[in-house]
Amino acid sequence: MTLDTKTWDELREIAARYPEARSGLLPMLHLVQSVEGRVTPEGIEACAEVLGISAAEVNGVATFYTMYKRKPVGDYHVGVCTNTLCAVMGGDLIFERLKDHLDVGNDETTPEEEGRRSITLEHIECNAACDYAPVMMVNWEFMDNQTPESAVQVVDDLRAGNEVHSTRGPRLCTWREAERVLAGFPDDRADEGPAAGEPSLVGLKIARERGWTAGGTYGSRASDEGESK
């Protein structure tokens, strides 16, 4: 695939956002993925040309971060956390069930079928949502407190083209659409869904009930100790 004029213009637009143009490399790679479905050699060369750096430097970044893919990704990227807490809470069971249900292995994609969306399945590292374990993510949007049964329902709905909402976020879009958002081109869904769930707010609720503020408790204690001396 040849990158079109629009994509080249948008790569330059991203680079121009930053005092140092090369700071735009990460969103530029997301833009390449939104267009080509992965980081391609041509995409690497384009980023290098726009930024005035070598293709080797771009490739080094693209191979360092796991969010950049060298194989085509399906319509939806489904990641199951299998780090310790999620695994203990059922993440391993969810991942095994989805592998069997979709008939794919880790980092593999379901075949293209007429009338069905494709799914890329991957086990992923901690996504800082341990209070909702086990967690599954679709295009980096949270699906909290999953079970093998609920995870199967999510992928079945996605494959059928049904509308699916993330637990703490918007309606799910396709992977390429999500990559375009990560490149810095909003899709106007930022305000959809709750910003935080109840487990994440428990500490804040307790602090407000008890009148705690950041640094206040330590500061008062330090002051008391100073006076006692």
Residue-level pLDDT, tens digit, the chain, 229 residues: 579 999 999 999 999 999 999 999 999 999 999 999 999 999 999 999 999 999 999 999 999 999 999 999 999 999 999 999 999 999 999 999 999 999 999 999 999 898 899 999 999 989 889 999 999 999 999 999 999 999 999 999 999 999 999 998 899 999 999 999 999 999 988 888 887 788 888 888 999 999 998 875 444 444 444 444 4
Distance (Å, rounded) from C-alpha 206 to C-alpha 106? 41
Tokens of 95: 């991942």
Note whether 43 and 87 are same-domain residues. no
| Residue 203 located in a structural domain | yes
| Residue 88 located in a structural domain | yes
| Residue 210 located in a structural domain | yes
Number of compact structural domains in the chain: 3
The count of other CB atoms within 10 Å of the CB of residue 68 is 18
| Residue 71 located in a structural domain | no
**Of 20, 18, 49, residue with least CA distance to 32:** 49
| Residue 190 located in a structural domain | no
| Residue 187 located in a structural domain | no
Q: Are 80 and 121 a contacting pair, CB within 8 Å?
A: yes
Note whether 98 and 166 are same-domain residues. yes
Q: How far is CA 82 from CA 70, 97, 136, 157, in A?
A: 22, 13, 9, 23
Q: How far is CA 180 from CA 54, 138, 139, 174, in A?
A: 24, 15, 11, 10
| Residue 192 located in a structural domain | no
